[in-house]
Amino acid sequence: MAYRYGNREQKVLLPPSVEEYVPEDAPVRAYDEMIESMDLEEMGIVEDRNKIGCPQYDPRAMLKLWTYGCSYGFRSSRKLERECHYNLSFIWLMGGLKPDHKTISEFRRKNKKALGRVLGQTARISLELDLIVGNVLFMDGTRLRANASMRHSWTEKRCQRELAGVDKRIEQLLSEIDREDEGEADEGSLVHLREELKDREQLKDRIQGVLGRLKEEGRSSLNTTDEDCVRVRSPQGSHAGYTGQVVADDEHGLLVSSDVVAENNDSQQFANQLNQAHEVLGQPSEVAVADAGYVDYERLQEVDHSRTKVIIPSRIQAAKKEVKPFDKSRFVYDEATDTYECPAGQRLVCGKMNKKTKERHYFGGAGCQECEHFGQCTTHRSKGRMIRRFGYEEFREGLERCYQEPESQEIYRRRQERVEHPFGHFKRNLNAGHFMLRGLDGVRAEMSLMAASFNITRMITILGVTDLVQALRRI
Select the more confidently predicted residue: 323 or 416: 416
**What phi and psi values does residue 414 have, to the nearest 5 degrees?**
-85, -10
Q: Check residue 183 and give its pLDDT.
A: 60
Kindly give, in sequence order, each residue whose CB lies less than 8 Å from that of residue 360, ignoring residues fewer than 6 positions away: 350, 352, 353, 354, 388, 389
Where does the pLDDT of residue 9 fall: very low under 50, low under 70, confident under 90, or very high at 90 and above? confident
Angle at 229 between CA 226 and CA 230, to 5 degrees: 135
Mutual angle of helices 27-36 and 59-71, in 10-degree steps: 140
Task: Say if residues 126 and 132 touch (Cβ distance below 8 Å).
Answer: yes
265-297 pLDDT, tens per residue? 999 999 999 999 999 999 999 999 999 999 999
Of the listed ranges 16-30, 56-70, 162-176, 180-194, the least confidently predicted one is 180-194
CATH code at 136-147+231-319+397-439: 3.30.420
Q: Check residue 181 and give its pLDDT.
A: 66
**What phi and psi values does residue 105 have, to the nearest 5 degrees?**
-65, -40
Q: Check residue 86 and give its pLDDT.
A: 93
- CA nearest to 309, candidates 325, 324, 288, 332: 288
Kindly give, in sequence order, each residue whose CB lies less than 8 Å from that of residue 226, ignoring residues fewer than 6 positions away: 146, 147, 148, 240, 438, 439
Task: Say if residues 386 and 368 touch (Cβ distance below 8 Å).
Answer: no
**Domain-wise residue ranges, the chain:** 18-128+459-474, 136-147+231-319+397-439, 150-223, 328-384
Give the whole-angstrom CA distance, residue 246 versus residue 419.
7
434-475 pLDDT, tens per residue? 999 999 999 999 999 999 999 999 999 999 999 999 999 998
Q: What is the DSSP letter of 237?
A: E
The winner for highest mean pLDDT among 40-49, 175-184, 463-472 is 463-472
Q: Check residue 315 and give its pLDDT.
A: 87
